[in-house]
Structure 1
Amino acid sequence: MRRRAPAPVATAGPAQRGEVAAAQRARLLAAMAEVVAEVGYEESTVQLVLDRSGISRKTFYEQFADREDCFVAAYDAATADVLDTVAAACAGADVSERRIELGLEALLDWCTAHPAAARMCVVEVFAAGSRARQRRAATMERLGELAERALDGAGAAGAGGAQLDRLTARALVGAVHELIYRPLERGDAQALDGLADEILAAHVEPLLATRR
């Protein structure tokens, strides 16, 4: 009786391998945010991330150089998402005050929906080394630019008005950061729900009043 030839072994093509790698990376980034939110960056380890994600150590080091590299990648992914979310929200209104309100609500909603990532980005980033702090500075600058664009048209025209827009935008971003830091530090992201009205009344409206 003739023997059958062995069936060909199916191998993943480049596209499929890329999809698998992307899915593994996403799991590692999510695990990093969750671990850091629970134990803090200083107490986090690669092993904790592996345990949380179910990904092998070999695969981890195919994606990242070390723990810090994974943290920075997780931070970049989270902040890119929140910046896109805030920008899209601000684009939903023509009046500057309404753009600020929508952007603020979008930011707070994002933090409430992603408490681990929010804590990572707002609180733990300070402990994660110079690369992470540089990324934070760039993120704060981007948020300031979004706020500045949202304010466009609400103040005086000319160079003086533009400078005031810039200062007002950075003051707004700084005030919001201070107000969301404490709830996220104590692990109470739900406390941010409904905070938009308080921030608008106590910080945004007085700052906008200085521009009129």
Structure 2
Amino acid sequence: MDVKVSGARRGRPPQTAEEAERVRAHIVAATGEVFTRVGSHGSSVALIIEQAQIARPTFYRYFANAEEPLHVLLSESDDALIDRATFAIESAENEVAMAISVIDAYLDWARAHGPMLRPLFGELYDAASPVSQHREVAIDTISRLVTKKIVELGRPLPDPLDLDALLNSCAYLVYRVSSTDNSDPATVERARSTMIRIAIATLGQPDDLLRALSVPGVFRTEN
């Protein structure tokens, strides 16, 4: 995400570059706490400096407004998701393995957000939220990586609409789990199995379905 963050503005400069980076990271972390509580629309410089316990001039030395550190936070989240997905995609030997690995990477990324996951997913489709533009970057990047890998595997080029539907379905399922009290391991495992089945049905070929039948937990056989 090419989000520019303003440079120094006011207040006494930090003693060292390391100190400056620590203060900047501290502000971004405080922004995450505020975002978790009130979302992007409720965030403000006043709330962030209160959370960070810093002076207002210190905040403005690093950022121009409350949205800038939020963009930094969201960019870090994007990068973490893309890095996990890239590794999962590039190391996969077939489409079934890729679907399972990418979904596991996605769930690991989601778990790492803790309580912040609720407002993050709650604003995915809010055009007025900065979260939505970051969502588009992440989805576009992962779509390109998946398409490239499928071509490398010698499979037909996937329909972009299929990919978009798959990624949005996975986002919806994770949001359902994160926005309720049903985020216990059994519910997460059910969501994982559902996402894998959707992935195979959306992008797979008949032999992928047969291969997936041998993967434990993907298809429930009990009554």
When normalised by structure 2's length, the TM-score is 0.71
Alignment partner, residue 197 of structure 1? 193
| CA distance, structure 2, for counterparts of residue 23 and residue 187 of structure 1 | 35
Aligned positions of 1:60-99 closer than 5 A: 60-99=59-98
The partner residue of 2:166 within 146, 164, 172 is 172
- 3-state SS of paired residue (1:93): coil
Query: Alpha-carbon deviation of 1:137?
Result: 1.9
Alignment partner, residue 8 of structure 1? none
Query: Do the aligned partners of 1:115 and 1:189 also contact (CA within 8 Å) in 2?
Result: no
When normalised by structure 1's length, the TM-score is 0.75
Query: Do the aligned partners of 1:89 and 1:106 also contact (CA within 8 Å) in 2?
Result: yes
Query: Alpha-carbon deviation of 1:117?
Result: 4.4
Aligned positions of 1:24-63 closer than 5 A: 24-63=23-62
| CA distance, structure 2, for counterparts of residue 125 and residue 27 of structure 1 | 25
Structure 1 residues 155 and 116: alpha-carbon distance in aligned structure 2, compared to 1, 3 A threshold: farther
Query: Do the aligned partners of 2:123 and 2:129 also contact (CA within 8 Å) in 1?
Result: no
Query: Alpha-carbon deviation of 1:108?
Result: 0.7
Structure 1: gaps (5+ residues): 1-13
Which AA in structure 1 matches 2:24?
R
Query: Do the aligned partners of 1:89 and 1:103 also contact (CA within 8 Å) in 2?
Result: yes
| CA distance, structure 2, for counterparts of residue 109 and residue 208 of structure 1 | 22
Which AA in structure 2 matches 1:144?
S
Alignment partner, residue 201 of structure 2? 206
Structure with bigger helix share is 1
State the number of aligned residues.
193
Which AA in structure 1 matches 2:202?
L
Shifted more, 128-137 versus 139-148: the winner is 128-137
**1:108-134 CA distances to partner (integer Å, 9 max, x unpaired)?**
111112224434543235558465533
| CA distance, structure 1, for counterparts of residue 17 and residue 182 of structure 2 | 37
Across the aligned residues of Structure 1 and Structure 2, the Cα RMSD in angstroms comes to: 3.0
**1:74-103 CA distances to partner (integer Å, 9 max, x unpaired)?**
111211122112212223322222122111
| CA distance, structure 1, for counterparts of residue 62 and residue 25 of structure 2 | 11
Percentage identity across aligned positions?
25
Runs ≥4 residues deviating over 4 A: 125-128, 153-156, 186-192
Alignment partner, residue 5 of structure 1? none
